[in-house]
């Protein structure tokens, strides 16, 4: 393995994190908060290590899939470790494990929180907390790819390891340009959302952090009462729309940008995604209205609340305007099903991704046909093209790994003695980067009451889920480090 190269790229990542943190420091200074030490020490440490690691350029540039996985896996853990320092040093989050959980939850765009009184945090830390969503949404390595001109950091394996989806490709021939286009679209959409929220009367700071949280499909709120606190239908609709948009494959936006709207609309994944959103909104509105759930009195209100919740869960954002833990069992179950699906590949959302479910269902159906007539040859097609066997194999492998991690984590977290629904959906919400779960870990509760072990396991799950398991699982295998 090319360790030199791995350290070098890690060094660049440290520098980038320091730069992002400096922005947060600036915000805290604007609000006149005393966070100079908390941020300063961390930034200094990051820059020192970053400069030391990048002092010498590696001679050998060979960089393969394994190196890509390892860099991405290690750097996400290290990012969260350093990102947690300001919370810990400032003593606003006294336990380091809590701070780590909170930061990991931020970077992985999960949005599960251990902090019960969010409004007590200083602005600088609130900004940093939501900013981690934004950084983690599109990915730090993608940012490094977009930023650094050096030939040596240009490897498709970095993009493949960090970007979600079974088939990651470039949208233009140059990796750096691809990364820039992705970030360009990302930044532009974040700014549009910010402007729309400000126009709706939300204050500037809240608009910024909520835009960050939506863009990364994170879900950290800066109010104890969440988005409902603003009590504005307009803001809720804007956020709903953007949650759905950020759950769409960014290639679709690129196609629209270059004028190929027809091709964009043809995307099978997009259609299925929007179809699921529509059907779920209709189903939840109807069931909740029939069951006379509080707030679902009129069609308008039902639409508003169910749209927001469906968008929030399927895009894996995890905002909430109502306590869905109090909904009828059917609606809750439907939300859990949506949690499994997650957003589209190539978006900022988490979950198992719509495309994987489509491929799995189609190959399952092909298998069924195969049972009936064993000699038939059936090719699985997606987006009108046959799916390569490799992709089907890796999708199968992904689901096996996914359910193994899910089962094992649930088993460990169950030591805490919560009821089954909370334990299972809690792990699910972390692994799929959603945030709030059901029952005792629902939107009106938080993860603060869990044991240290559970918090560490869930932090691991969040990072594993964000990176789609393999980069993180690879780190656990001794074979990775053998020469």
Partner 1 sequence: MNIIIIGGGKLGSMLVEYLIKEGHDIALIDKNYKLIESIVGKYDILGICGNGANVDTLKEAGVAKANILIAVTSSDEVNVLCALVGKKLGARHTVARVRAPEYSKQLLFMRNELGIGMATNPELETAIEISRILRSMHTVKMESFARGRADLVEIPMTDDSPFIGVKLWEIYTKFKLKILICAVQRGDEVYIPDGNFVLKAGDVVQITASHSDINEMFKILGYEKQRVRSAFIVGGGTIAYYLARELTDVGIKVKIVEISEKRCVELSEMLPKVDVICGDGTNEELLSEEKIDQFDACIALTGIDEENIIIALASKFRKIPYVISKVNNSSILRLLNRETLENIVSPKVISANHIVRYVRSKQSDTSGSVQNLYKFVDNKVEAVEFVVREESECTGKPLRALKLKRGILIACIVRNGKVIIPGGDDTIEKNDNVVVVSSNFYLRNLDEIIG
Other C-beta atoms closer than 10 Å to the C-beta of 351 total 28
In angstroms, the CA 221 to CA 135 distance is: 16
* Helix 123-138 and helix 3-30, axial crossing angle in degrees, nearest 10: 140
388 interacts with partner 1 by CB under 8 A: yes
276 interacts with partner 1 by CB under 8 A: no
Q: What is the closest distance, in whole angstroms, from the C-beta atom of residue 176 to partner 1 in the complex? A: 8
Burial of 177 (0-12, 13-18, 19+ CB in 10 A): middle
Please tell me what DSSP assigns to residue 468: T
81 interacts with partner 1 by CB under 8 A: no
**Residue span binding partner 1 (CB under 8 A) among the ranges 20-28, 79-87, 154-162, 430-438:** 154-162
In angstroms, the CA 197 to CA 208 distance is: 9
> How many residues of this chain bind partner 1 (CB under 8 A)?
14
Judged by CB under 8 A, the residue of 1, 81, 154, 234 near partner 1 is 154
**Residue span binding partner 1 (CB under 8 A) among the ranges 164-172, 231-239, 243-251, 432-440:** 164-172
**Residue span binding partner 1 (CB under 8 A) among the ranges 5-13, 169-177, 269-277, 369-377:** 169-177
In angstroms, the CA 20 to CA 143 distance is: 11
170 interacts with partner 1 by CB under 8 A: yes
* Helix 175-199 and helix 250-257, axial crossing angle in degrees, nearest 10: 90
Judged by CB under 8 A, the residue of 7, 77, 96, 157 near partner 1 is 157
Q: What is the closest distance, in whole angstroms, from the C-beta atom of residue 123 to partner 1 in the complex? A: 41
397 interacts with partner 1 by CB under 8 A: no
Q: Which is nearer to partner 1, 64 or 420 (CB)?
A: 64
Judged by CB under 8 A, the residue of 119, 294, 367, 390 near partner 1 is 390
Indicate if the alpha-carbon torsion angle 133, 138, 140, 144 is positive or negative: negative
Instruction: Say which residue the tokens 């189609």 belong to.
Output: 362
**Residue span binding partner 1 (CB under 8 A) among the ranges 171-179, 373-381, 412-420, 468-476:** 171-179
In angstroms, the CA 249 to CA 72 distance is: 21
- Tokens in use for 31? 């609000």
Element holding 385 (H helix, E strand) = strand 385-386
Judged by CB under 8 A, the residue of 1, 147, 156, 233 near partner 1 is 156
Q: What is the closest distance, in whole angstroms, from the C-beta atom of residue 175 to partner 1 in the complex? A: 5
Distances (CA, A) of 99 to 34, 125, 129, 209: 18, 11, 10, 19
Q: Which is nearer to partner 1, 67 or 92 (CB)?
A: 67
Per the CB < 8 A criterion, the answer to whether 271 and 356 are in contact is no
Distances (CA, A) of 21 to 26, 43, 83, 113, 212: 9, 7, 8, 20, 15
Q: What is the closest distance, in whole angstroms, from the C-beta atom of residue 39 to partner 1 in the complex? A: 36
Q: What is the closest distance, in whole angstroms, from the C-beta atom of residue 173 to partner 1 in the complex? A: 4
66 interacts with partner 1 by CB under 8 A: no
Say what the alpha-carbon torsion angle 218, 350, 112, 300 is, to the nearest 10 degrees.
70
Binding string, residues 203-232; x marks residues near partner 1 by CB under 8 A: ------------------------------
Judged by CB under 8 A, the residue of 57, 174, 271, 381 near partner 1 is 174
In angstroms, the CA 103 to CA 80 distance is: 5
Q: Which of 433, 438, 473 is nearest to 247 (CA)?
A: 433
Judged by CB under 8 A, the residue of 43, 49, 121, 175 near partner 1 is 175
Q: What is the closest distance, in whole angstroms, from the C-beta atom of residue 264 to partner 1 in the complex? A: 14
Per the CB < 8 A criterion, the answer to whether 246 and 190 are in contact is no
Q: What is the closest distance, in whole angstroms, from the C-beta atom of residue 136 to partner 1 in the complex? A: 25
119 interacts with partner 1 by CB under 8 A: no
Binding site for partner 1 (CB under 8 A): 64-65, 154, 156-157, 169-170, 172-176, 388, 390
């Amino acid at each position: 393995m090319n360790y030199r190269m791995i350290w070098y790229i890690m060094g660049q990542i440290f520098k980038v994190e320091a730069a992002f943190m400096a922005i947060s420091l600036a915000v805290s200074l604007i609000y006149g908060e005393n966070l100079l030490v908390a941020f300063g020490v961390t930034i200094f440490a990051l820059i020192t290590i970053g400069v030391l690691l990048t002092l010498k350029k590696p001679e050998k540039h060979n960089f393969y899939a394994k190196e890509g996985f390892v860099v991405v896996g290690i750097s996400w853990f290290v990012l969260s470790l350093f990102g947690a320092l300001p919370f810990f040093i400032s003593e606003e989050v006294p336990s380091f494990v809590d701070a780590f959980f909170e930061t990991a939850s931020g970077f992985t765009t999960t949005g599960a929180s251990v902090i019960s009184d969010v409004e007590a945090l200083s602005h600088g830390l609130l900004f940093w907390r939501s900013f981690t969503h934004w950084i983690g949404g599109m990915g730090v390595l993608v940012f490094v790819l977009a930023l650094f001109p050096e030939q040596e950091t240009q490897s498709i394996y970095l993009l493949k390891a960090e970007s979600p989806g079974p088939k990651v490709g470039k949208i233009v021939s140059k990796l750096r340009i691809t990364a820039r286009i992705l970030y360009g679209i990302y930044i532009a959409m974040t700014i549009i959302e910010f402007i729309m929220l400000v126009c709706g009367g939300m204050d500037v700071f809240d608009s910024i952090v909520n835009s960050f949280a939506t863009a990364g499909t994170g879900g950290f709120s800066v109010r104890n009462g969440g988005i409902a606190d603003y009590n504005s239908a307009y803001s809720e609709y804007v956020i709903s729309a953007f949650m759905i948009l950020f759950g769409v494959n960014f290639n679709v936006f690129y196609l629209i940008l270059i004028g190929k709207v027809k091709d964009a609309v043809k995307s099978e994944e997009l259609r299925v995604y929007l179809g699921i959103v529509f059907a779920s909104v209709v189903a939840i509105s109807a069931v909740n209205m029939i069951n006379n759930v509080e707030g679902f009195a009129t069609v308008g209100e039902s639409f508003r609340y169910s749209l927001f919740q469906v968008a929030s869960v399927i895009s894996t954002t995890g905002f909430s305007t109502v306590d869905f833990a109090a909904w009828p069992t059917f609606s809750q179950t439907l939300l859990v099903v949506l949690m499994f699906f997650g957003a589209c590949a190539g978006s900022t959302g988490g979950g198992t991704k719509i495309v994987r479910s489509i491929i799995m269902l189609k190959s399952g159906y092909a298998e069924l046909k195969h049972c009936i007539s064993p000699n038939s040859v059936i090719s699985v097609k997606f987006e009108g093209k046959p799916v390569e066997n490799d992709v089907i194999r890796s999708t199968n492998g992904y689901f096996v790994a996914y359910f193994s991690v899910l089962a094992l984590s649930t088993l460990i977290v169950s030591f805490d003695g919560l009821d089954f629904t909370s334990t299972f959906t809690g792990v699910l919400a972390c692994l799929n980067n959603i945030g709030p779960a059901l029952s005792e870990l629902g939107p009106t509760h938080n993860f603060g009451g869990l044991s240290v072990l559970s918090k560490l396991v869930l932090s691991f799950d969040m990072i594993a889920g964000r990176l789609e398991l393999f980069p993180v699982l690879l780190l656990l295998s001794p074979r990775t480090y053998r020469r």
